[in-house]
């Protein structure tokens, strides 16, 4: 009498578990980098939106609008200090560096008051590729292709 076996042996099950562990060990660090990159991109897009909003509000209202950056907190405010839009802070430790244009003022014409272009560099972590935002003297906001890596 021959007996048929349905199912897995203990050895087969152990091999599958080990293989799943190896795949997870490789995938999780890559997934963390993806999450970090998405956070950096989201902050960059929010910053471009805030700068564009500030310019359009300056033109619409006929008065200067200032974009202030302090650490990872950004806001657009009128000349009297009234905040008209504020970005939520990035999570502590998620964005290591934002440089440039701590106070960017858009005139009622849409132009900026700075004598030169204003640049923002957003870095998620050391060694990553930075996201660059440029505001030219005409007030045009663009995201530039980054070269190099974050400090």
| Phi and psi, residue 59, nearest 5° | -70, -45
Convert the pLDDT of each residue in 44-100 to its tens digit. Answer: 888 899 999 999 999 999 999 999 876 667 889 998 888 899 887 666 555 555 555
Convert the pLDDT of each residue in 88-147 to its tens digit. Answer: 766 655 555 555 556 889 999 999 988 888 888 877 766 678 888 888 989 999 988 777
Closest C-alpha among 80, 56, 39, 60 to residue 141: 56
| Phi and psi, residue 6, nearest 5° | -115, 135
- pTM here is 0.75
- Number of residues that this document lists for the chain: 151
**Domains present along the chain, CATH in parentheses:** 10-144 (3.55.40.10)
Query: Do 74 and 23 contact (CB within 8 A), yes or no?
Result: no
The residues, ordered by sequence, that sit 6+ positions from 76 with a Cβ below 8 Å of its Cβ are 50, 53, 54, 57, 65, 66, 67, 83, 84, 85, 86
Query: Do 76 and 113 contact (CB within 8 A), yes or no?
Result: no
């Amino acid at each position: 009498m021959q007996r048929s076996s349905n199912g897995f042996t203990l050895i087969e099950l152990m091999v599958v578990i080990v293989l799943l562990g190896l795949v997870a060990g490789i995938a999780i660090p890559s997934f963390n980098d993806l999450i970090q990159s998405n956070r950096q991109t989201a902050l960059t897009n929010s910053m471009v939106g805030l700068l564009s909003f500030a310019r359009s509000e300056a033109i619409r209202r006929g008065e200067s609008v200032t974009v202030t950056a302090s650490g990872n907190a950004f806001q657009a405010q009128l000349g009297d200090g009234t905040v008209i839009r504020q970005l939520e802070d990035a999570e502590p430790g998620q964005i290591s560096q934002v440089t440039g244009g701590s106070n960017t003022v858009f005139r009622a014409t849409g132009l900026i008051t700075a004598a030169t272009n204003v640049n923002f560099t957003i870095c998620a972590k050391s060694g990553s590729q930075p996201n660059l935002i440029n505001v030219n003297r005409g007030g045009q906001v663009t995201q530039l292709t980054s070269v190099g890596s974050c400090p």
